[in-house]
Amino acid sequence: MATAAGTPRRFGILISGRGSNMEALARAALAGEIPARPAVVISNEASAGGLRVAQGLGLPTAVVDHRDSADRATHDRRVQGVLEEHGAELVCLAGYMRLLSASFVAAFPARILNIHPSLLPAFPGLDAQRQALEHGAKVSGCTVHFVDADLDSGPIIAQTAVPVAEDDTEASLSRRILAEEHRLYVGAVRLYFQDRLRLEGRRVRIAEAPGG
């Protein structure tokens, strides 16, 4: 899909580590399964393994180290600058381990998505899979949501449930959830670029596919 001017729509991906969700999104977009182009992968950590993966896929990458900025707002303005330079319309957080400033969130209204490894609103924050096990949950899963000013709290776009097995460890549960995360995130970003997400208050309605 292209804009009226004929240029493809673009998204940026923010990571801090391994970047397997970034890779799933980038590969899907490069294969034409998402009607948009991955414009840039930005990490706040120079050592993030995902940067090498992105480079291997031929994507532009940037390191914006948060330690180089005096405060969160300054760091976020630098990240915003790189996203804008690359024409990113949508921002996908993919294991990005930083809270966002209110001004960054306001700069991309309903245009920031995040993936979280639990069925929100259960188990927000760090170590969601461990939280689920420690709570004794029988079902966990993953959630893609719009990002608002609070942590893991924005309107939910899509979720997949993953049963907790009797013998699950944090590692085994995380592995099964991660496989679902990759599918879920690709599907949600596809819906975004198909212009099928309608935000009504906290509720995200998914419009029928044209002709479908």
Active-site amino acid positions: 116
Listed ranges 27-35, 102-110, 114-122, 160-168: which one lies at the site for ligand GRF (CB under 6 A): 114-122
Q: Is residue 140 a contact point for ligand GRF (CB under 6 A)?
A: no
Q: Is residue 12 a contact point for ligand GRF (CB under 6 A)?
A: no
Q: Is residue 20 a contact point for ligand GRF (CB under 6 A)?
A: yes
CA distance 143 to 187: 12
What letter represents residue 80's amino acid? Answer: Q
Minimal CB distance to ligand GRF: which residue?
Answer: 95
Q: Is residue 95 a contact point for ligand GRF (CB under 6 A)?
A: yes
Q: Is residue 61 a contact point for ligand GRF (CB under 6 A)?
A: no
Instruction: At 84, list the tokens.
Output: 């804008």
Do residues 33 and 189 lie in contact, with contact meaning Cβ atoms separated by under 8 Å?
no
Q: What angle, 0 to 180 degrees and rounded to 10, lies between the N-to-C axes of helices 170-193 and 20-30? A: 30
- Contacting ligand GRF (CB under 6 A), which of 18, 27, 130, 190? 18
x-or-dash string of contact with ligand GRF, 116-135, rule CB under 6 A: xx------------------
Tell me the pairing of strands 203-206 and 197-200. Answer: antiparallel
Shortest distance (Å) from residue 142 CB to ligand GRF: 6
CA distance 151 to 138: 24
Among candidate residues 75, 2, 77, the one with its CA nearest the CA of residue 37: 2
Among candidate residues 146, 151, 142, the one with its CA nearest the CA of residue 124: 151
Query: What residues from 21 to 40 belong to the interface with ligand GRF (CB under 6 A)?
Result: 21
Binding interface with ligand GRF (CB under 6 A): 15, 17-21, 50, 94-95, 115-117, 178, 181
